[in-house]
Structure 1
Amino acid sequence: MIEIFTIMRVLKRLLLFVLGLILLLIIGVWIYSFYASPSYEGQLELKELENPVDVYFDDNGIPHIYAESQYDAYQTLGYVHAQDRLWQMELIRRIAPGRLSELFGEKLLKVDRFFKGLGIEDATEKALQKLDTTSKAYKLTQSYLKGVNEFIENGKTPLEYHMLGVEKEPYTIRDVYHVFGYMAFSFAVAHKTDPLLNEVKEKLGAAYLEELLEATESNVTAIKNAPVQAVKGSMITEVQQVLETLPIPTFIGSNSWVVGPNKTANKKVIFANDPHIGYAQPAVWYQSHIVTPDYEMYGFNLALTPFPLLGHNRNYAYGLTMFENDDVDFFYEEDHPSDSTKYATENGYQKYQIATRKIKVKGAEDVVFEQRISRHGPLMNEVLEGLNTTRPVAMQWIYTKEENQLLDVAYELSHAKSLEGFKRGAAKLHAPGLNMMYGDASDNIAWFAAGKLYKYRDSIETKVFLEGKTGKDEIVSYLNFDSNPQAVNPPWNYVYSANNQPDSIAGMLYPGYYLPEDRAKRIVHLLESKSDITQEDMETMITDIRSTTAPEISNYLITSTERDHLSPSALKALELLRSWDGKFELEAVGPVIYNRWWYEFVSGTFKDELGPAFKVFVNTPLEEKVMAQQVRRVNSVWWDDIKTPEKETKRAIVTAAFNRTVSFLKTQLGENVEDWKWKRVMSVEHEHAIGKAGGLLRSLFNVGPFVSRGGDQVINNHIYKIDSTGYYKVHAGPSTRRIIDFSDIEGAKAIIPTGQSGNLFSPYYGNQAEKYVNGKFVPMLINEAKIKEVSKKLRCNPGR
Structure 2
Amino acid sequence: MKRTLTAVALLVAVTGGGLGWYLHGKQPLRDGELRLDQLQAPVTVRYDERGVPHIRAEHEADLYRALGYVHAQDRLFQMEILRRLARGELAEVLGEKLVATDRLFRTLGIRAHADEYATRLDRDSPAGRALLAYLDGINQYQTSRPLPLEFDLLGIEPRPFSVADTLSVAGYMAYSFAAAFRTEPLLTHVRDQLGADYLEVFDLDWHPQGVVGPALADGDWQDLAAIARLSHAALQGSGLPQFEGSNAWAVAGNRTASGKPLLAGDPHIRFAVPAVWYEAHLQAPGFELYGYHQALNPVASLGHNRDFAWSLTMFQNDDVDLIAERVNPNNPAQVWYQGRWVDLQSRSETIEVKDGEPVQLTLRRSPHGPLINDALGENAGSTPIALWWAFLETDNPILDAFYQLNRADSLDKARAAAQKIEAPGLNVVWANASGDIGWWAAARLPLRPAGVNPNFILDGASGEAEKPGWHPFSANPQEENPARGYILSANYQPVPASGIEIPGYYNLPDRGQRLNQRLGDAAVKWDLENSQALQLDPGTGYGPRLLAPLLDELRDAAADDQERALVQLLAEWNGDHPLDSVAATLFNQLTYQLAREAMADELGEALFDSLLLTRVLDTALPRLTAAADSPWWNRQGSGQRETRAQIVAAAWRASLAHLRGQLGDDSRAWTWGRAHTLTHEHPLGQQQPLNRLFNVGPFAAPGGHETPNNLSHKVGPAPWPVVYGPSTRRLVDLADADKALGGIPVGQSGVPFDAHYQDQAAAHVAGQYQPQHLSEADVAAHARATLKLLPR
Q: Tell me the alpha carbon deviations over residues 645-702 of structure 1, each in whole angstroms, 9 at most, x when there is no partner.
A: 111111221122112212222233233222221122121110111122122x222211
Amino acid across the alignment from 1:715: P
1:392 equivalenced with 2:384 (yes/no):
yes
1:654 equivalenced with 2:648 (yes/no):
yes
Instruction: Give, in angstroms, the shift of residue 210 of structure 1.
Output: 4.1
Select 2:779's aligned residue among 783, 787, 794. Answer: 787
Matches of 1:445 and 1:161 in 2, distance apart?
45
1:346 equivalenced with 2:356 (yes/no):
no
- Specify the alignment match of 1:669 in structure 2: 663
Matches of 2:777 and 2:345 in 1, distance apart?
60
Amino acid across the alignment from 2:634: D
Q: Tell me the alpha carbon deviations over residues 227-272 of structure 1, each in whole angstroms, 9 at most, x when there is no partner.
A: xxxxxxx133332333332231211111111111121111111101
- Specify the alignment match of 2:745 in structure 1: 753
Matches of 2:411 and 2:727 in 1, distance apart?
26
Amino acid across the alignment from 1:460: V
Q: After the TM superposition, which residues 700-715 of structure 1 pair with which residues of structure 2 at under 5 Å, given as runs?
A: 700-715=693-708
1:546 match: secondary structure: coil
Matches of 2:256 and 2:699 in 1, distance apart?
35
1:634 equivalenced with 2:624 (yes/no):
no
How many residue pairs get matched? 772
Select 1:22's aligned residue among 12, 17, 27. Answer: 12
2:266 match: secondary structure: strand
1:654 match: secondary structure: helix
**Structure 2: 5+ residue runs without aligned partners?**
207-224
1:132 equivalenced with 2:122 (yes/no):
yes
Select 2:233's aligned residue among 234, 241, 263. Answer: 241
Q: After the TM superposition, which residues 437-476 of structure 1 pair with which residues of structure 2 at under 5 Å, given as runs?
A: 437-476=429-468
Amino acid across the alignment from 1:579: E
> Structure 2 vs 1, CA of residues 562 and 58 (structure 1 numbering), >3 Å: closer, same or farther?
closer
Select 1:511's aligned residue among 498, 503, 511. Answer: 503
Amino acid across the alignment from 1:515: N
> Structure 2 vs 1, CA of residues 386 and 766 (structure 1 numbering), >3 Å: closer, same or farther?
farther
2:712 match: secondary structure: coil
Select 2:483's aligned residue among 477, 485, 491. Answer: 491
1:560 and 1:654 in contact (8 A); partners too:
yes
> Structure 2 vs 1, CA of residues 565 and 78 (structure 1 numbering), >3 Å: closer, same or farther?
closer
Higher mean alpha-carbon deviation, 366-375 vs 654-663, is at 654-663
**Structure 1: 5+ residue runs without aligned partners?**
1-8, 217-233
1:346 and 1:471 in contact (8 A); partners too:
yes
Instruction: Give, in angstroms, the shift of residue 510 of structure 1.
Output: 1.3
Select 1:435's aligned residue among 411, 423, 427. Answer: 427
- Specify the alignment match of 1:290 in structure 2: 282
Higher mean alpha-carbon deviation, 588-597 vs 455-464, is at 455-464
1:74 and 1:141 in contact (8 A); partners too:
yes
- Specify the alignment match of 1:316 in structure 2: 308
Amino acid across the alignment from 1:86: L
- Specify the alignment match of 1:141 in structure 2: 131
Instruction: Give, in angstroms, the shift of residue 370 of structure 1.
Output: 0.8
Select 2:757's aligned residue among 765, 774, 777. Answer: 765
Matches of 1:491 and 1:790 in 2, distance apart?
41
1:77 equivalenced with 2:80 (yes/no):
no
- Specify the alignment match of 2:197 in structure 1: 207
1:108 and 1:245 in contact (8 A); partners too:
no
Select 1:535's aligned residue among 522, 525, 528. Answer: 528
1:274 and 1:735 in contact (8 A); partners too:
yes
Select 2:672's aligned residue among 678, 683, 700. Answer: 678
Matches of 1:420 and 1:564 in 2, distance apart?
60
1:103 equivalenced with 2:93 (yes/no):
yes
- Specify the alignment match of 1:698 in structure 2: 691
- Specify the alignment match of 1:413 in structure 2: 405
Select 1:614's aligned residue among 600, 608, 616. Answer: 608
1:572 and 1:673 in contact (8 A); partners too:
no
- Specify the alignment match of 2:543 in structure 1: 550
2:260 and 2:733 in contact (8 A); partners too:
yes
1:477 equivalenced with 2:459 (yes/no):
no
Instruction: Give, in angstroms, the shift of residue 374 of structure 1.
Output: 0.8
Matches of 1:279 and 1:686 in 2, distance apart?
6
- Specify the alignment match of 2:249 in structure 1: 257
Matches of 1:574 and 1:145 in 2, distance apart?
59
1:453 match: secondary structure: coil
2:388 match: secondary structure: strand
Instruction: Give, in angstroms, the shift of residue 215 of structure 1.
Output: 9.5
Amino acid across the alignment from 2:201: E
- Specify the alignment match of 1:220 in structure 2: none
1:46 and 1:796 in contact (8 A); partners too:
no
Amino acid across the alignment from 2:452: I
Matches of 2:722 and 2:379 in 1, distance apart?
30
> Structure 2 vs 1, CA of residues 690 and 565 (structure 1 numbering), >3 Å: closer, same or farther?
closer
1:342 and 1:352 in contact (8 A); partners too:
yes
1:477 match: secondary structure: coil
2:676 and 2:702 in contact (8 A); partners too:
no
Matches of 1:22 and 1:704 in 2, distance apart?
28
Amino acid across the alignment from 1:19: A
Instruction: Give, in angstroms, the shift of residue 352 of structure 1.
Output: 1.1
Matches of 2:590 and 2:464 in 1, distance apart?
44
Matches of 2:398 and 2:345 in 1, distance apart?
26
Matches of 2:688 and 2:490 in 1, distance apart?
35
Instruction: Give, in angstroms, the shift of residue 38 of structure 1.
Output: 0.4
> Structure 2 vs 1, CA of residues 285 and 506 (structure 1 numbering), >3 Å: closer, same or farther?
same
Matches of 1:622 and 1:554 in 2, distance apart?
18
2:42 and 2:791 in contact (8 A); partners too:
no
1:236 and 1:387 in contact (8 A); partners too:
no
Select 1:574's aligned residue among 563, 567, 572. Answer: 567
Matches of 1:526 and 1:297 in 2, distance apart?
30
Instruction: Give, in angstroms, the shift of residue 558 of structure 1.
Output: 1.3
Instruction: Give, in angstroms, the shift of residue 386 of structure 1.
Output: 9.8
1:303 equivalenced with 2:300 (yes/no):
no
- Specify the alignment match of 1:231 in structure 2: none
2:51 match: secondary structure: coil
Q: Tell me the alpha carbon deviations over residues 740-798 of structure 1, each in whole angstroms, 9 at most, x when there is no partner.
A: 01122111010211000001132111111111011101111011122122213434343
Matches of 1:473 and 1:178 in 2, distance apart?
26
Instruction: Please give the TM-score of this superposition, normalised by the length of structure 2.
Output: 0.95
Matches of 1:71 and 1:323 in 2, distance apart?
32
> Structure 2 vs 1, CA of residues 17 and 292 (structure 1 numbering), >3 Å: closer, same or farther?
same
Off by >6 Å, runs of 4+ in structure 1: none
- Specify the alignment match of 1:4 in structure 2: none
1:254 and 1:274 in contact (8 A); partners too:
yes
Q: After the TM superposition, which residues 363-374 of structure 1 pair with which residues of structure 2 at under 5 Å, given as runs?
A: 363-374=355-366
Matches of 2:233 and 2:100 in 1, distance apart?
9
Amino acid across the alignment from 2:597: G
Higher mean alpha-carbon deviation, 317-326 vs 581-590, is at 581-590
Matches of 2:666 and 2:660 in 1, distance apart?
8
Aligned-residue sequence identity (percent) comes to 36
Q: Tell me the alpha carbon deviations over residues 327-386 of structure 1, each in whole angstroms, 9 at most, x when there is no partner.
A: 101111112212222211233111111111221111111111112111100111111359
Matches of 1:147 and 1:796 in 2, distance apart?
14
1:57 and 1:793 in contact (8 A); partners too:
yes
Select 1:184's aligned residue among 174, 181, 185. Answer: 174
> Structure 2 vs 1, CA of residues 177 and 274 (structure 1 numbering), >3 Å: closer, same or farther?
same
Amino acid across the alignment from 2:517: H
- Specify the alignment match of 1:221 in structure 2: none
Instruction: Give, in angstroms, the shift of residue 162 of structure 1.
Output: 0.7
- Cα-Cα RMSD: 1.8
1:765 match: secondary structure: coil
1:336 equivalenced with 2:328 (yes/no):
yes
2:179 and 2:614 in contact (8 A); partners too:
no
Matches of 1:187 and 1:98 in 2, distance apart?
18
